[in-house]
Chains A and B, each alone.
Chain A
C-alpha cells in the first residue's frame, strides 16, 4: 500500500488537498471516495481511507475545509470552516465529483467508484449519490437525509426532494439508539426509496448509537462496527467489481 497527500481539482476548478491510499497490486479495481465527518480531515478518517486500500480499492478523501484553512490542523480547520458557515451542498458535490474523476483517471481504475460518509458525511454521501455518476453509496448514520430539523435549528435541509434521483445502490448503517437519525427517520428513508424502486440495503444495530464506527470516541461499538465493515466490504465487492 502507498499513501500520499495530493492535490485534486474540486468544485469550481479549485485545487484542494486530498489523502490517497492505493494497494500495491497493479490489477484493475474500483475506487472509494471517503467523505470526512464534521470534525474534519483527521487521523481517524485517514485510517478509514487506508482500510479501503487494504480492502483492495484505490481510496481518496478530499479535504473539504482546504479552502477555508489550507494546511491547518484538522481540528482548527473544522473550527474555521464552521465559523464561516460550513460546507455548502453544491461545493460538496463538486469536490466529490473531482475526487471520483481522479480515481477514475488512475491506471488501475476499473471505472467504478463508490462513496461513503460518516455522520454529516453520511448525508453528504447520499447527496452525492443523487447528483453524480457513481456506482455505490454508503450512508453511515447521516442525520437529516429524511426527517425535519427541530424548530429553531438552522440545520441543513433534508434530502427528501433529492431521493427520487438517487443514482446508485445505497447501503445504510444505523444505530438503534441514535436519535438523529432515529428509527423513524430511517423508516422514512426506507419508504421513500421503496416507493421509487431504489436499491436500498439497511442495517440498524442494537446497543449502538450515533458514531458507532468511531474507534477513538466513546460511541464506538465494536460488534456493530465489525459487522458494519463486513457489510460495506460485501456491498462494495458486489457493486465496484470490475
Chain B
C-alpha cells in the first residue's frame, strides 16, 4: 500500500547529487513506502533536498527496513564515538 506518512525535517549539510555536483541540502523527508528503484515492495526512503533549487535538487535513498535500522544504529555509533564537543 501507499502509506502516505511523511516525516519532514530541516537539515543543514551537503550531498553529492546528479551529474557529480555537490548540493547544499536544507530539507529532508523520510517515509516508508514504495520505492522507485530498489527491488523491494516497500523501503525506507530519504530525500535530501533544496526546495529553492527545484524538484531535481534532490538526493534520494531507498533502503530496506533492515538496512535503514542498521544505518540509524551506525549514525548513532559514529556520533557517540567522537568527543561530544565536536557534535554540539
Interface residues of A (CB under 8 A from B): 37-39, 42, 68-69, 72-73, 75-80, 82-83, 85-86, 119-120, 141, 143-144, 153-156, 178-181, 209-211, 217-219
Contact = CB atoms under 8 A, between A and B. Distances in A.
A75 B61 CA distance: 12
Contacts of A210: 1, 41
A119 B41 contact: no
Contacts of A72: 54-56
B29 A153 contact: no
A38 B2 contact: yes
Given A143-B2, A155-B4, A39 B34 contact: yes
B40 interface: yes
A181 B2 CA distance: 10
A83 B6 contact: yes
Contact of B34 (A38, A68, A86, A144): A38
Interface in B30-57: 31, 33-34, 36, 39-41, 47, 49, 51, 54-56
What does DSSP make chain B's interface, helix, strand, loop or mixed?
Answer: loop
B60 interface: yes
B85 to A, nearest CB: 34
B88 to A, nearest CB: 28
A85 B8 CA distance: 10
B34 A79 contact: no
Nearest to B40: A218
Contacts of A38: 2, 33-34
B31 A82 contact: yes
Contacts of A179: 1
Contacts of B5: 153-155
B54 A156 contact: no
B2 A120 contact: yes
**Chain A CB within 10 Å — which of B29, B33, B36, B58 has the most?**
B36
B3 interface: yes
